[in-house]
Amino acid sequence: MTDNASSPPAPSRDIAALIAIMAALRTPGTGCPWDLVQDYASIAPYTIEEAYEVADAIARGDLSDLRDELGDLLLQVVFHARMAEEEGRFAFPDVVEAITRKLIRRHPHVFGNARDLPPAEVKALWGEIKAQEKAERRAQREAAGLPPEAGTTGALAGVPVGLPALTRAVKLQEKASKVGFDWNDARLVLDKIREEIGEVDAALAEGDKAAVADEVGDLFFALANLARHLDVDPEAALRGTNEKFTRRFAYIEQQLGHQGRTAAQATLDEMEALWVEAKTKAR
């Protein structure tokens, strides 16, 4: 006779099944030892990683992989919600209610009376509604005697610290631009990049490692600014370059492999020649 208590749950299309599995994994005594010791902070890096893997599947056009990666990302949401439920703060249905309320509120042109708006006006309306929501949250915190949330005041408010650095740089620059702190010509940003390269060179000459790191950061910030002015996503651009580098270096290793050698056994000049060859083959 089969012991039903030890039978694994069946795969399901019902979100309730995923929530139940997560609850089982977090049940003391019978759950998963690894899952039981996790908290919001320890899980947060996995949440970010899964979001990147979703983006990677989209970039590769792999919809089968996208399905799986979206499931992994959904698990992260369920995991965080389960921990909050254990603390009596909120549960997964509250997460769903919060996002449905927000979507309905931010789309009066779909669910309300503000219909037939052009895209530019839709974007402006979205910004106005978000500003209203932030003001309401501030008022609620003040009424409860709580201090303002970190990063919620001033022109640069609302840019999460946990964003990838290049993405956060662009968002900070966009915020500053809205109050007039910006260049009006991309060529001026190029001048700034040249200036920052000079400062990196000067820091190198002084042998000051901390100053070099600081100046390299300034250079990255200026490069992100140039990308913004040119309407280029710096994260996407760098991901593309990373993939290009990977393909070309793989070509170097492949060609050396035909000679019975590894990259470590080749000279820099030999690898550089193969790199140029890979470029001519548009790899």
For the domain made up of 165-280, the CATH class stated in words is: mainly alpha
Q: Do domains 4-106 and 165-280 have the same CATH topology?
A: yes
CB 78 within 8 A of CB 92: yes
The per-residue pLDDT for 127 is 83
Q: Where are the domains of the chain?
A: 4-106, 165-280
Higher pLDDT, 134 or 22: 22
Mean pLDDT taken over the chain:
91
pLDDT by residue (tens digit) across 156-202?
A: 887 888 788 999 999 999 999 999 999 999 999 999 999 999 999 99
The per-residue pLDDT for 217 is 97
Domain 4-106 has CATH 1.20.1560.10: no
pLDDT by residue (tens digit) across 99-157?
A: 999 999 988 888 888 788 888 888 888 888 888 888 888 888 788 887 766 555 688 88
Residues in the chain: 283
pLDDT by residue (tens digit) across 252-277?
A: 999 999 999 999 999 999 999 999 99
